[in-house]
Structure 1
Amino acid sequence: MMNTRGAALGWTLVRVVFGLTLALAHGLPKVMGDMSRFAAGVEQLGFPYPLFFAWCAALAEFLGGLLVALGLLTRPAALFAAFTMGVALYRHRADPFGNMEMSILYLSVMLSALFTGGGPYSVDAKLRRRP
């Protein structure tokens, strides 16, 4: 639990910035773009039903990122986004660090959201306070 206002505000800033960036810069282009190209990359990783799993990953980034930013269903959304970032990190495992860096950053923030929750300035917290 966040003990101080500064810690709560800091976590909210991290959650909102990383959630929106994941959703808008990474998830939205996949959801709105040519999914067959992304599915081809998923197929190279050995996933069965590559188009299905490509959609799962794109929605985990887009919807998961938005939900984490809002602090709504934070833990489940962060779980799906973290799993997707783990796969992305695996995909870039042989690349230079600069190519892995975004996956590592998003993975660490999504794991933090999974462990911590949305914090006091989240929709989850507002819903818990309702009578």
Structure 2
Amino acid sequence: MNQELLNNLGKLVLRLGSGALILTHGIPKISRLFGEGPIRFSDPFGLGPAISLSLATFAEVICAVLIIIGLKTRLASIPLMITMLTAALYAHADDPFGTKEKPLLFFVLFLGTLILGAGDYSIDGINNNKKRSLF
């Protein structure tokens, strides 16, 4: 296999894996957002629990889907990185490292996605290839 193919397959695996795994944390937040009763969620920036939960849900659902399909991948990784650092350093600040490890691991995955981009097997990649073929 040539190196370019392997690089693009690696980016695909990174996007699909990290996006799908964080989506499993985001989907349950949707029901918390629209459930009955008061919203209980960390409020690290003083915006209120409802807004904080909305921002985390946006990152873990909408941005995760964008990463999975490879659309605006680098941009979509930023809210996820912020959410993961907030979870590790604020929501779990007093917890043992083992609890902080998962959001920190997700942070590293999304940092890698930010650096590497989506690759050719993505909507971003298809759009980039179309632009290149026009010239």
Q: Shift of residue 34 of structure 1? A: 4.8
**Partners in 2 of 1:80 and 1:98 — Cα distance?**
23
Structure 1 residue matching 2:47: 3-state secondary structure:
coil
Q: Which deviations, in whole Å up to 9, do the C-alpha atoms of 1:6-61 show, x marking residues without a partner?
A: 122122112101101111x1001101235678953323x35223211210111111
After superposing on structure 2, the runs of 4+ consecutive aligned residues of structure 1 that deviate more than 4 Å are 34-39
1:85-104 aligned at under 5 Å gives the runs: 85-90=84-89, 91-104=91-104
Consecutive unaligned residues of structure 1, counting only runs of 5 or more, are none
**Partners in 2 of 1:114 and 1:89 — Cα distance?**
19
Counterpart position of 2:63: 64
Structure 1 residue matching 2:65: 3-state secondary structure:
helix
Which structure has the larger Rg over C-alpha atoms? 2
Is the contact made by 2:41 and 2:50 (CA closer than 8 Å) also made in structure 1? no
> 1:95 and 1:54, CA in 2 relative to 1: closer, same or farther beyond 3 A?
same
**Partners in 2 of 1:72 and 1:38 — Cα distance?**
34
1:1-131 aligned at under 5 Å gives the runs: 3-23=3-23, 25-34=24-33, 39-43=39-43, 45=44, 47-90=46-89, 91-130=91-130, 131=134
Q: Shift of residue 113 of structure 1? A: 1.2
Q: Shift of residue 87 of structure 1? A: 0.5
> How many positions carry a matched residue from both structures?
127
Is the contact made by 1:19 and 1:68 (CA closer than 8 Å) also made in structure 2? yes
Q: What is the TM-score with the length of structure 1 in the denominator? A: 0.85
Is the contact made by 1:39 and 1:51 (CA closer than 8 Å) also made in structure 2? yes
> 1:54 and 1:20, CA in 2 relative to 1: closer, same or farther beyond 3 A?
same
Q: Which deviations, in whole Å up to 9, do the C-alpha atoms of 1:76-119 show, x marking residues without a partner?
A: 11011111111011121331222112101110111111122111
Is the contact made by 2:84 and 2:106 (CA closer than 8 Å) also made in structure 1? yes
Name the stretch that deviates more: 71-80 or 86-95: 86-95
